[in-house]
């Protein structure tokens, strides 16, 4: 039975036509071409998770040109021509979007919470869609028939610190809008070769096929950068393994380091699982704006398989971490055993010394009784008796304790 989709209700545009000046007609034309909804000024977007101030940023591209602007567009015209441009604001792209058969707009937001809803509304996306995606999670999928969007995580790694930013991708009939924070520079290469990517799309292909091709490339680029960071975690884990191999490593250093590695893996795995959830929603081609071509859906499925493979690698690394915890426990046990051996050695020698003193002390106590009536003339054999009994008692105690195995051969 076919799913009955909810009808989208037209809403008022977030940016009034009068404020757009000469671009107002282009905005109306863009909405008519994409058959989209407006935006409701009453709805207030839920603040999305933002990047911490100390989060690392990906290195910027060394290229110069339009693809280093905050806003970037690459589009294919009906005649097969390619339009590529960059600008501080995407408002100037509206005429191009209204006539393009497929286009990609990328926007880098300095303040994601403030700029993302504004840019989405400027290009005709409803705040209903944006608000449903930006609910504080690192992944989301929303389909409103005439427009849809996904939210996927973008991962940064610095040693054992894993930061998760978000990548917002909004889709209409003929174009895709991607919005991300300033720390996400992973689309620089896609911007650089955007003209080549769009030119490879057949002019006579269906709009759904064209949009899906661009979407697959964007997700693949994001996944590839996320996957690269697992190597950084492995490199940091290798340094930790070297520390674990030293039995004299301080416990107050090993404990926090192992926890940080475990926490980074959990955060990384959470980002991969979130990405896989979104890909599972895309792989069947249920959305009307995306293709239902089995060959393209296989490519979406391949993206999910790659993510699953990375999840397997991360889980294997987690198993290695578990073995590291066993090594740590062995180190603790060895240190405790060393302490026990030292204490056993001390006790054994104290026992020998106590026995050596006890025997002559007992003899002296007995011989000092008046019943024996010992005088100065008995001092010779008395001293010989005391010395002999002390030596014999010491040797006897040492032999017996050693025979019992109470003296450790090695303290370490």
Gap between the Cα atoms of 303 and 276, Å rounded: 9
Averaged over 112-141, what is the pLDDT?
91
Pick 93 or 326 by higher pLDDT.
Answer: 93
| Maximum Cα–Cα distance across the chain | 134
Give the alpha-carbon dihedral of 398, 402, 403, 404, to 10 degrees: 110
Rg, C-alpha atoms of the chain: 38
Give me the DSSP letters along 190-230.
HHHTHHHHHHTS-TTS-HHHHHHHHHHHHHHHHHHHHHHHH
Indicate if the pLDDT at residue 353 is higher than 60.
yes
Where residue 323 falls among pLDDT bands split at 50, 70, 90?
low
pLDDT, tens only, 357-367: 777 777 777 77
Give the per-residue pLDDT at 245. Answer: 66
Averaged over 125-148, what is the pLDDT?
90
Q: Which residues sit opposite 298 in a β-bridge?
A: none
Gap between the Cα atoms of 218 and 224, Å rounded: 10
Query: Looking at 103-117, 275-289, 314-328, which range is the least confident one?
Result: 314-328
Beta strands per DSSP E along 41-133? 71-76, 82-87, 102-109
Pick 234 or 190 by higher pLDDT.
Answer: 190
Give, as one character, the DSSP assignment of residue 13: -
Give the per-residue pLDDT at 258. Answer: 77
Indicate if the pLDDT at residue 5 is higher than 50.
no
The reply to whether the predicted model has a pTM over 0.75 is no
pLDDT, tens only, 207-262: 999 999 999 999 999 999 888 888 887 777 777 777 766 767 776 777 777 778 78
Query: Looking at 70-79, 91-100, 197-206, 223-232, which range is the least confident one?
Result: 223-232
Pick 343 or 169 by higher pLDDT.
Answer: 169
Q: Superfamily for 17-223?
A: CorA soluble domain-like (3.30.460.20)
Beta strands per DSSP E along 254-316? none
Pick 290 or 387 by higher pLDDT.
Answer: 290
Report the percentage of the chain scoring pLDDT > 70. 75
Tokens 């209903």 sit at which residue? 128
Averaged over 191-215, what is the pLDDT?
93
Count of CA atoms in the C-beta half-sphere (13 A) of 370? 0
Pick 244 or 282 by higher pLDDT.
Answer: 282
Domain boundaries, given as residue ranges, for the chain: 17-223, 333-403
Give the per-residue pLDDT at 360. Answer: 76
Averaged over 338-343, what is the pLDDT?
76
Mean pLDDT of the chain: 78
Indicate if the pLDDT at residue 190 is higher than 50.
yes
pLDDT, tens only, 91-105: 999 999 999 999 999
* Most confident of the following: 133-142, 167-176, 179-188: 167-176
Averaged over 386-395, what is the pLDDT?
80
Give the per-residue pLDDT at 324. Answer: 59
Where residue 411 falls among pLDDT bands split at 50, 70, 90?
low
Gap between the Cα atoms of 326 and 64, Å rounded: 51
Where residue 124 falls among pLDDT bands split at 50, 70, 90?
very high
Are 314 and 269 spatial neighbours (Cβ–Cβ below 8 Å)?
A: yes
Give, as one character, the DSSP assignment of residue 187: T
Indicate if the pLDDT at residue 139 is higher than 70.
yes
Where residue 34 falls among pLDDT bands split at 50, 70, 90?
low
Indicate if the pLDDT at residue 37 is higher than 50.
no
Residue 31 dihedral angles phi and psi, to the nearest 5°: -65, -35
Gap between the Cα atoms of 146 and 7, Å rounded: 9
Indicate if the pLDDT at residue 307 is higher than 60.
yes
Indicate if the pLDDT at residue 46 is higher than 70.
no
């Amino acid at each position: 039975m076919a799913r009955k989709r909810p009808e989208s209700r037209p809403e008022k545009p977030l940016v009034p036509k009068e404020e757009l000046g000469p671009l107002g007609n282009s905005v109306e034309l863009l909405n008519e071409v994409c058959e989209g909804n407006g935006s409701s000024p009453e709805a207030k977007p839920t603040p999305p998770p933002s990047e911490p101030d100390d989060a690392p940023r990906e290195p910027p591209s060394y290229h110069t040109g339009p693809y280093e602007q905050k806003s970037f567009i690459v589009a294919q015209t009906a005649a097969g021509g390619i339009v590529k441009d960059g600008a501080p604001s995407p408002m100037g792209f509206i005429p191009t979007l209204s006539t393009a058969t497929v286009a990609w707009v990328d926007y880098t937001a300095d303040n994601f919470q403030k700029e993302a809803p504004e840019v989405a509304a400027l290009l005709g996306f409803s705040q209903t869609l944006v608000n449903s995606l930006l609910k504080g999670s690192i992944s989301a999928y929303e389909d409103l028939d005439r427009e849809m969007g996904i939210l996927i995580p973008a991962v940064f790694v610095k040693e054992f610190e894993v930061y998760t930013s978000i990548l917002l991708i909004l889709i209409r009939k003929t174009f895709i809008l991607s919005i991300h924070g300033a720390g996400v520079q992973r689309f620089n290469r896609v911007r650089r070769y955007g003209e080549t990517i769009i030119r490879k799309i057949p002019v006579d292909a269906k709009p759904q096929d064209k949009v899906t091709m661009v979407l697959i490339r964007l997700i693949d680029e994001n996944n590839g950068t996320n996957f690269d960071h697992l190597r950084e975690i492995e490199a940091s884990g290798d340094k930790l393994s070297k520390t674990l191999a030293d039995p004299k490593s301080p416990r107050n250093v090993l404990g926090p380091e192992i926890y940080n590695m475990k926490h980074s893996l959990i955060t990384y795995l959470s980002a991969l699982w979130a990405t896989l959830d979104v890909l599972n929603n895309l792989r069947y081609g249920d959305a009307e704006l995306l293709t239902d071509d089995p060959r393209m859906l296989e490519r979406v499925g391949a993206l999910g398989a790659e993510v699953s493979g990375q999840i397997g690698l991360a889980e294997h690394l987690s198993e290695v971490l578990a073995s590291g915890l066993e090594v740590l426990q062995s180190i603790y046990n060895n240190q405790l055993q060393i302490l026990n051996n030292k204490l056993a050695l001390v006790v054994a020698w104290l026992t020998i010394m106590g026995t050596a003193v006890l025997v002559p002390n007992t003899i002296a106590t007995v011989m000092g009784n008046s019943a024996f009536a010992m005088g100065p003339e008995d001092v010779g054999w008395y001293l010989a008796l005391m010395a002999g009994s002390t030596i014999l008692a010491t040797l006897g105690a040492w032999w017996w304790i050693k025979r019992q195995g109470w003296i450790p051969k090695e303290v370490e």
